[in-house]
Amino acid sequence: MSLIRAGDLAMLVPEKGRPFIKRVQPGGELQTHRGSIRHDDLIGIPWGSQIRTHLDVCFLVLEPTLRDLLLRISRRSQIIFPKDIGYILLRLSVGPGKTVIEAGTGSGALTTAFAWAVGPQGKVISYDRREDMTSLARENLARVGLDDRVVFRTRDIEDGFEEEDAEALFLDLPKPHLCLTQVRSALRGGATFGAILPTTNQVSELLAELQQHTFALVEVCEISLRYYKPVAARLRPVDRMVAHTGYLVFARSVLCSAEEEALPDDD
């Protein structure tokens, strides 16, 4: 049986209302309008337990999932939605021990997912040209204990990436088609590339440049998510759904043939 320990992140869920995610610390206390819960009363009890506040209101104590963490990060910009992040992780094959680069850190939602997926032996290198966004993302990663897996670089990627031979790279930028030369220099042969864009004309610009820069297995998609009311006797879709949030573009980096590399310039 897995027990809650000091230092763990815990999600406390009331019967109604917003859950609270807190790091369990000896002597700490969660205070809500439904009453307070002492952290000392959480330490040593099993995950999935129910605990009552001093006002006798019941809370469920759960280990937060990655989705729970992403939906509650501090943000100053639009984050990539969990429904898109799940497919990004799958298509980029981000897993334990991998090295992945991203540009356009923003508030750090995707950075958090990458850091979660690569594990303690992997590494995420995150680029953003704005120091304020880098600082916010660093705070968000530190809050969930994943900041040691991320290298933050405040730099415009038009000047190039510092890394080479990366296994995956993702861009959340308005003009990714202008940065494919830098992308190719950072990726190993056959590595995965991805980008998210809000409009079709941006996607078209990127597709044209992917062809010019010898990328293969290009894919464009969007993901919609529809929830259902979880009532056995009245199972039906809810009234609203998470529809279009962005176009996802994926491709594989392909090495040029010797003949192509030997071709003289048009000049």
Find, among 197, 254, 237, the residue nearest to 220 by Cα. Answer: 197
Architecture of the structural domain at 9-64: Roll (3.10)
pLDDT at 257: 54
Which residues of the chain register pLDDT less than 70?
A: 256-267
pLDDT at 77: 76
CA–CA gap between residue 34 and residue 141 (Å, rounded): 29
pLDDT at 267: 44
The CATH number of 75-262 is: 3.40.50.150
Domain extent listing, the chain: 9-64, 75-262
pLDDT at 130: 94
The predicted-structure confidence for 190-240, as pLDDT tens digits, reads as follows 999 999 999 999 999 999 999 999 899 999 999 999 999 999 999 999 999
The DSSP string of 145-202 is T-GGGEEEEE--GGG--S--SEEEEEE--S-GGGGHHHHHHHEEEEEEEEEEESSHHH
pLDDT at 74: 86
pLDDT at 264: 42
